[in-house]
Amino acid sequence: MKKISCVIITFNEGKNIRRCLDALKWCDEIIVVDSGSTDETLEICKGFHCKIHHKKFNGYGEQKRFAVSLAENDWILNIDADEVVSDALKNEIIAEFNKSEVDFAGFYLQRSLYFLGRRFNYGKESKEYYLRLFNKNHGNFSEDKVHEKVIVDGKTKKLTKELEHHSYTSLHQYFEKFNSYTTKASEELFEKGKKKNLILTIFSFPAYFLKNYLLNGNFLNGIQGFLWALFSSFYPIVKYAKLWVLWNKKEK
């Protein structure tokens, strides 16, 4: 079987990391790049014999590229601390890598959302594909500060078993990440010289909500689906409001 290095970036993930690591014992090495955790994250990682490194956080893309550079093996599995590789997905990966030849540069993993204690069985969040298992000789993460992605040169394949995404267990946690993501996204747009009509974005809120709630099927996911659609619809408004503030400061 081809050897796999799992890479994880962390910051105060004590509530998630044990569940994540417990499902990764089959990997040949686990690399953790931490950006200054003050909770029990690192103690838990030590208990799983992870290779721990420290780096100041300057964006998700840069942080994950650094983690990949530390890997001893060519094949990289990137997992977030709030994700869990199901037994079925583990077995599917092992079956692929037990073949005499791996004819792909990367594999897309099917991720399912768990939000405020509920698994989303409907809508795009119930089955989203992310390129998370790849050969570092054929690709790497983009350098985007947020919404980074793996770009590979070569054939890819979609795996069918579940990667569990236990994203937010409380609204407090949700809005902490919401604030962080919108800030980093607005800063990245500002650095690229991008602008957006804020008024038009604000008045587009009903369209955003109808898309997220009805077209994306979140009305079938109960009150959690309603809240997810509502908050997701506010995301572009907050992001572009922060971008407007940055330009307003510069132009004064």
Give the mean pLDDT of 95-115: 94
pLDDT given at position 100: 84
Within a 10 A sphere around the Cβ of 109, how many other Cβ atoms? Answer: 24
Alpha helices in the chain (DSSP H): 17-22, 41-47, 60-69, 87-97, 171-191, 198-203, 205-210, 222-251
Residues 70-83: pLDDT tens digits? 999 999 999 999 99
Cross-strand pairs, 151: 140
Q: What topology does CATH give the domain 4-168? A: Spore Coat Polysaccharide Biosynthesis Protein SpsA; Chain A (3.90.550)
pTM value is 0.88
Please give the structure tokens belonging to residue 209.
Answer: 């909500």
Q: Which pLDDT tens digit goes with each residue over 4-41?
A: 999 999 999 999 999 999 999 999 999 999 999 999 99
Domain ranges of the chain: 4-168, 171-251
The pLDDT score that the predictor gives to residue 10 is 98
pLDDT tens column, 112-168:
999 999 999 999 999 999 999 999 999 999 999 888 999 999 999 999 999 999 988
Provide the 3-class DSSP secondary structure of residue 184.
helix
CA triple 139-145-146, angle to 5 deg:
90
Amino acid 83 reads E
pLDDT of 182-231, one tens digit each? 999 999 999 999 999 999 999 999 999 999 999 999 999 999 999 999 99
What are the b/e assignments for 216-226, b being 16+ CB within 10 Å? bbbeebbebbe
